[in-house]
Structure 1
């Protein structure tokens, strides 16, 4: 069995969900997502035993395009993130009702298929196809099932679509040029290219536009907060928990090894832009009155630090970035779900209209508090492992990068704990806040259990990712 089985399963799941009807759609989607996660675990076990679970087959003769899927520790970590979060995201939606739910859940599974394909693709054109396919379902999820004023939602979603599509076109041009040099789109052939400094600059810049918009990195972030706010919570979870990791992953997999000299030359600028996002996201989060927007800017600050780790070009930086990608994926999904649970009870996301939840729902309060502490990288959580490793890598480049980047922990602790105090403590709200349901508790417990387990025992992910990072660094430093 190889990784194509997983992609086929997700695609079949999307079709089965579409034809299952509105009443069964959520359950069918959850079933297929759980099977996909189980299959991912099985593939991981095969991978750890030394079995080759990748796949390569000729697809198009001219231009030379292959159905090439690379399964190493890095791609497997991202696939596991995708398949682990997808059933949790689907289960988290069980407290909501959606019109044409069969279309909604089919799009969720199709998006998981496209994102998993992006992480596995080892052919440039195939990678680009998966990259673009992932954009289509989230566009419709946010546009059709989003919240708030319709005109504002359309404006936010169209801006997001145009931004990301425009950046992707630059990347496509870069791949076309690389094909003219290598005669192939295969990743291993592109790694072997010896490009001039000028060629590397233009390739690096073309890729950077696509990735900086997707992550996002300042000043390409202007679409993010509005889309996160206007999308339904399931869409926001998919965007923040998994989709933005496509950009960060691609920096490590595609951009740095193909244009390493450009990355080394512009390292201070790239790290500077990334850290600027840390500061900007944290400062703006301090001023937010909407809970979902606060979490959106918090996410911007955290991914800025991850991007900075990627651009250090060090083993600690790349490893730490991957650790933090995984930790951030789980914790941000948990936080957005907590915001959704509050909205279901109180029908508002305005922080000054909330309060007193602790006295009514001790279980929810405890779980929300753990997620908040994980977000600010409390030791014992996996977020601490990732942020500490990234900050250490920044100190290896320049101590001031680490000092300034560390503001994400200080400012993050301030605005997250202040938010928790305003939302959960204080006088009891006039509305009744019921404690978590069984399905809600399952989502929270799964996320918290993962963050605490790997926070105390990070070795499994470390051992999985480290060999792949060493191989990429060998290409960068060749």
Structure 2
């Protein structure tokens, strides 16, 4: 087949199909038609991404890149590129949504057509973020991914959803405003007067102005990851959002910030990155220790998982700014693995809350007696989350610490404390919730069977954990070209 005969490239398919699917879901108001359609369309998206993985060779270049005029008067083109990092994160996005829909299939939502429509619009926005090569296109999809989440959380969230969503809105709106100012600021200094990534990397910014632009971009991305001290919106948002939305927030949306560091921040501001890397690494490592300590003290399962996620993202941020090749390789594969593992944890939390009516660790105990299947899944996923050898997170975490060690031995020693803390709060949670004394007040204490959808989703996650734990080579090879280009830019300055 000739690439020129293809009407739509893979990036376009991954944008348009979820977008159109979401619009269709809005009109499916009868019964559970919207739910069934969302699940079906999410599997079709997985098929599109799976097909795209076979077209990695340069001879299929036209399948994976597209650029046409969007706003020519401003020098902005609708430019999309489907490189290794984009493929990997689009794969994560595609796989995550059916896992979410399967594991929450028996959950009841008011106006399900609106809920699933907004979820699919979020998927379209995420795909756009990971493929965009024009700053305005990137910003457009950045907002498209966020806006549906405001409505999902404020309409279908918990009792304190309004306060949590307002806090989430204030943080993300401030970040988006700073990002837009930064984009315009750099655009005014581009030699071609365009918003393309290449033009941004060639922008003639004096050192003082580059420092300002760096912080405008970095704060916007730090809020989204989030990195200490821009993290305070996250635990509340995770706790009050519907579990399915929380899975997307923690599994995929936080990766938008890490992705943006690698795609947009460091390559565009290499001198400022070198100058401020010490500050960012200190913030990231501080956040790792702080979040791990707070997670240790939590009595709510959702908040415990939320703070553990902050610690993991802090390590990714530190590894990016350490600017060592092994560390960046680790970040690439850990973005995927962390997304899979954290979704698995949320599925377990959703099952615990659904069947036993509480998320409080102090009110739970002996769940292994009533649900041994859930216990097995939880133990495997939790141990993967703390990077036990032979699980998927081990390789990425080892590479990130190796890159951080090349940056600074004492920094690495302090960061390694987070591993000990993670083991402490994870094993403590497993012991108290699943192997502690049996509580007699469970609303459904006799439940022993999980929903079929949750079992399927958790089984897929466990398979991924062991396959990538033993054989991570596919992810490493997929992102190798992106790592090489990143390191060339860092060392070329």
Q: What TM-score, normalized to structure 1?
A: 0.97
Q: Tell me which moved more, 336-345 or 423-432.
A: 423-432
**Aligned ranges for residues 147-186 of structure 1 at < 5 Å?**
147=158, 149=159, 152-182=160-190, 183-186=193-196
Question: What SS does the aligned partner of 2:70 have?
Answer: strand
User: Within 1, Cα distance between the matches of 2:121 and 2:454?
Assistant: 24
User: Within 2, Cα distance between the matches of 1:199 and 1:464?
Assistant: 35
Q: Deviations over 1:352-388 (max 9, x none)?
A: 1111111222211111100110011000111111111
**Aligned ranges for residues 60-459 of structure 1 at < 5 Å?**
60-147=71-158, 149=159, 152-182=160-190, 183-430=193-440, 431-459=445-473
* RMSD over equivalenced CA pairs, Å: 1.1
The answer (yes or no) to whether the contact 1:345–1:434 under 8 Å persists in 2 is no
User: Within 2, Cα distance between the matches of 1:72 and 1:307?
Assistant: 21
The answer (yes or no) to whether the contact 1:302–1:408 under 8 Å persists in 2 is no
Q: CA deviation at 1:470?
A: 0.8
Q: CA deviation at 1:209?
A: 1.1
Residue of structure 1 equivalent to 2:39 = 30
User: Within 2, Cα distance between the matches of 1:403 and 1:445?
Assistant: 35
Match of residue 19, structure 2, among 11, 16, 21? 11
Question: What SS does the aligned partner of 2:81 have?
Answer: coil
User: Within 2, Cα distance between the matches of 1:341 and 1:307?
Assistant: 31
Q: CA deviation at 1:77?
A: 0.8
User: Within 2, Cα distance between the matches of 1:258 and 1:199?
Assistant: 12
Aligned residues: 475
Residue of structure 1 equivalent to 2:477 = 463
Question: What SS does the aligned partner of 1:51 have?
Answer: helix
Residue of structure 2 equivalent to 1:44 = 53
Question: What SS does the aligned partner of 2:66 have?
Answer: coil
The answer (yes or no) to whether the contact 2:109–2:156 under 8 Å persists in 1 is yes
Q: Tell me which moved more, 264-273 or 420-429.
A: 420-429
Question: What SS does the aligned partner of 1:103 have?
Answer: helix
The answer (yes or no) to whether the contact 1:311–1:317 under 8 Å persists in 2 is no
Q: What TM-score, normalized to structure 2?
A: 0.95
User: Within 1, Cα distance between the matches of 2:208 and 2:86?
Assistant: 30
Q: CA deviation at 1:48?
A: 4.3
Question: What SS does the aligned partner of 1:66 have?
Answer: strand
Q: CA deviation at 1:49?
A: 6.5
The runs of 5 or more residues in structure 2 that have no matched partner are 1-7
1:57 aligns with 2:65: no
User: Within 1, Cα distance between the matches of 2:185 and 2:310?
Assistant: 32
Q: Deviations over 1:287-320 (max 9, x none)?
A: 1111111111111111111111111112112111
User: Within 2, Cα distance between the matches of 1:214 and 1:313?
Assistant: 21
The runs of 5 or more residues in structure 1 that have no matched partner are none
The answer (yes or no) to whether the contact 1:124–1:186 under 8 Å persists in 2 is yes
User: Within 2, Cα distance between the matches of 1:412 and 1:95?
Assistant: 32
